[in-house]
Amino acid sequence: MDLEVVVEGVSDVRVAHAIKRTLQQLCVTAARPGEWSVLVCPSETRGHWDLGVRGPFGRRFVSFAERTGPLPEQIAEHLNASRAWESRE
């Protein structure tokens, strides 16, 4: 599984790197074939984040409200909940 991670709107470099590491670890766990791209960026709605996933099976998009706690873990939780790694067959 080839993965490209794009993180926008995160001013703390450590948090941006933690997001990338978390997504790469999920990528290893998911072990899906093909090329994948994940975009994390602030939503137009204040206090929300957008998470877009593009892969061989299509595209998925989710927007979620930021909660208290580490953003990388929140992103991983929403990515798994969206079932973005799964095919739509």
Residues 49-71: pLDDT tens digits?
A: 999 999 888 898 989 998 888 99
User: Pairing mode, if any, of strands 48-55 and 35-42?
Assistant: antiparallel
- Per-residue pLDDT at 42: 96
Q: Is 87 among the domain residues?
A: no
The per-residue DSSP string of 11-59 comes to --HHHHHHHHHHHHHHHHHH---SEEEEEEEE-SSTTEEEEEEEETTEE
Q: Is 89 among the domain residues?
A: no
Among 84, 72, 67, which residue's Cα sits nearest to residue 22?
72
Q: Is 17 among the domain residues?
A: yes
Query: Could you tell me what percent of the chain has a pLDDT over 70?
Result: 94
Q: Is 31 among the domain residues?
A: yes
Taking residues 11-22, report their average pLDDT.
95
* More confidently predicted of 86 and 2: 2
Among 23, 32, 39, 40, which residue's Cα sits nearest to residue 88?
32
Q: Is 11 among the domain residues?
A: yes
Q: Is 88 among the domain residues?
A: no
Two tokens, residue 60: 């998925």
Q: Is 22 among the domain residues?
A: yes
Q: What does the mean pLDDT of the chain come to? A: 88
- Per-residue pLDDT at 31: 75
Taking residues 29-42, report their average pLDDT.
88
Domain count, the chain: 1
Domain harbouring 15, CATH code: 3.30.160
Note down the domain range covering 12: 2-81
Q: Is 87's pLDDT higher than 70?
A: no
* More confidently predicted of 13 and 32: 13
